[in-house]
Amino acid sequence: EDKVVQSPLSLVVHEGDTVTLNCSYEVTNFRSLLWYKQEKKAPTFLFMLTSSGIEKKSGRLSSILDKKELFSILNITATQTGDSAVYLCAVVPGAQKLVFGQGTRLTINP
Amino acid sequence: DTGVSQNPRHKITKRGQNVTFRCDPISEHNRLYWYRQTLGQGPEFLTYFQNEAQLEKSRLLSDRFSAERPKGSFSTLEIQRTEQGDSAMYLCASITSGVRTDTQYFGPGTRLTVL
């Protein structure tokens, strides 16, 4: 069965810190891995990764995929209170449906 | 706002009642997905449509659940004889098939509370 595991499940840091969120997976027919940010409602798209070793970057957020070791990380530098959210990792095992992890709840304290 | 809309946003019902949710995807998207998210968990896949055809259903989708997409545009998800365990956020997402992206765009969700 396809499986995605995120760690840590919860993280509390101070504004300005750098955080690394982890996502490991076991899926058949891997197509891609996606990161979403979820505040109080719909998940909003951050990154889609398909190739190993190529970093995707958007402002203070970046992500990379390792298809050999079956994991991805999401980095956030110089965190701000607006980064507080649940970060979801999902993999696509062929039929374009998303298989999600539990999410990491990130809290940034001022 | 992703362009995917869902109604209602909140629904409170008594156990045993039937409820129906609606999703309007981004207009040019031919695939539509339903997910369910309970507190502290990531979304779980329920079912998806390509145009009007329902192509896959999760085993999470019991006989009390039915989904339709009659004209290949909006979709409805009906839950009959609701149970307290059905309380969750029901999310809809859409995407265009045949292009080289897997990015699904989510609606705001319908939060169901079964008393």
Do β-strands B75-79 and B19-24 pair in parallel, antiparallel, or remain unpaired?
antiparallel
Please tell me the predicted confidence (pLDDT) of residue A103: 97
Separation CA A65–CA A34 (nearest Å)? 10
Amino acid letter, residue B52 = E
pLDDT category at A1 given cuts 50, 70, 90 is confident
Site from A96, A102, A104, A105 to mutate, B interface, most B CB atoms within 10 angstroms: A96
Q: How far is CA A49 from CA A37, A86, A106, B61, in A?
A: 15, 19, 21, 29
pLDDT, tens digit, for every residue of B79-92?
999 999 999 999 99
Q: What kind and span of H or E run contains A58? A: strand A56-58
Report chain B's mean pLDDT, rounded to a whole number.
93
Q: Which residues in A have their CB inside 8 Å of a CB on B? A: 4, 6, 31-32, 34, 36, 41-45, 48, 88, 90, 92, 95-103
Give pLDDT tens digits for A4-60: 999 999 999 999 999 999 999 999 888 899 999 999 888 999 999 998 888 999 999
Q: What is the pLDDT of residue B99?
A: 67
Q: Which of A48, A27, A22 is nearest to A99 (CA)?
A: A27
Residue of A nearest to B9 (CA): A41
Q: Which residue of A6, A31, A42 is in closest CB contact with B106?
A: A42
Alpha carbons A93 and A26: distance in angstroms, whole number: 10
Report the alpha-carbon distance of residue B111 to residue B11 in Å, rounded: 6
Per-residue pLDDT of B57-109, as tens digits, reads 998 888 999 999 998 899 999 999 999 999 999 999 998 876 677 889 999 99
Any idea how long chain B is?
115
pLDDT digits (tens, 9 = 90+) for A82-100: 999 999 999 998 767 899 9
